[in-house]
Amino acid sequence: MAPLGGAPRLVLLFSGKRKSGKDFVTEALQSRLGADVCAVLRLSGPLKEQYAQEHGLDFQRLLDASTYKEPFRRDMIRWGEEKRQADPGFFCRKIVEGVSQPVWLVSDTRRVSDIQWFREAYGAVTQTVRVVATEQSRQQRGWVFTPGVDDAESECGLDNVGAFDWVIENHGDEQRLEEQLEHLIEFVRSRL
């Protein structure tokens, strides 16, 4: 039985390292397929909202790609892990509440428990998408290795998960990225 939210026709779980382009790819898909068809869901949204409330921080600034969140990132990760250990589906259930679009793009899947929760909840309509980028590409986008962040489960939890249903290479070759997005869009449309 599906938890809160409607029954999706397709759930795409996006994962990848920081600055690999997960948000860029999910937003590109949503803009091409339409917001009435695709919902972009962020597991970090309810985490950041709750963390901001408990720590007196600006929730909207924690959501954007600014440097505002960087001083809090390590503690947010620790805090989120404590919540997940108590209830592995806590953030997953929060993001699907009231979603009515037939296609869900979960832009920041980071743990095996996230994939397991969606597969158990939505079964065969769940697919995994790994967004990959070279370290050089990620550095050009502002990535700098941060101990306690880039070597934590939130960044490495899916490194050895095995095969993903889809792999999107986002190394900076716009034409190659476009071709991959077109294949994924065709697949999405075939499920509607």
Q: For residues 156 and 150, what is the distance between their CA atoms, to the nearest angstrom?
A: 7
Asked whether the predicted pLDDT for residue 4 surpasses 50, the reply is no
Q: Is 74 annotated as a binding residue?
A: no
Tens digit of each residue's pLDDT (9 = 90 or more) over 76-86: 888 888 888 89
- CA-closest candidate to residue 128, choices 46, 187, 45: 187
Q: Is 159 annotated as a binding residue?
A: no
Are 100 and 73 in contact by the 8 Å Cβ rule? The answer is: no
pTM: 0.87
* Helix (H) / strand (E) containing 69: none
CATH for 10-190 (3.90.950.20, 1.20.1540.10, 3.40.640.10, 3.40.50.300)? 3.40.50.300
Q: Is 113 annotated as a binding residue?
A: no
Q: Is 73 annotated as a binding residue?
A: no
Q: Is 48 annotated as a binding residue?
A: no
Helix or strand or coil: residue 2?
Answer: coil
- The string of DSSP letters for 6-25 reads ---SEEEEEE--TTSSHHHH
Q: Is 190 annotated as a binding residue?
A: no
Residue 12's DSSP bridge partners are 105, 127
Q: Is 151 annotated as a binding residue?
A: no
What confidence score (pLDDT) does residue 1 get? 38
* Helix (H) / strand (E) containing 104: strand 103-106
Q: Is 94 annotated as a binding residue?
A: no
Q: Is 171 annotated as a binding residue?
A: yes
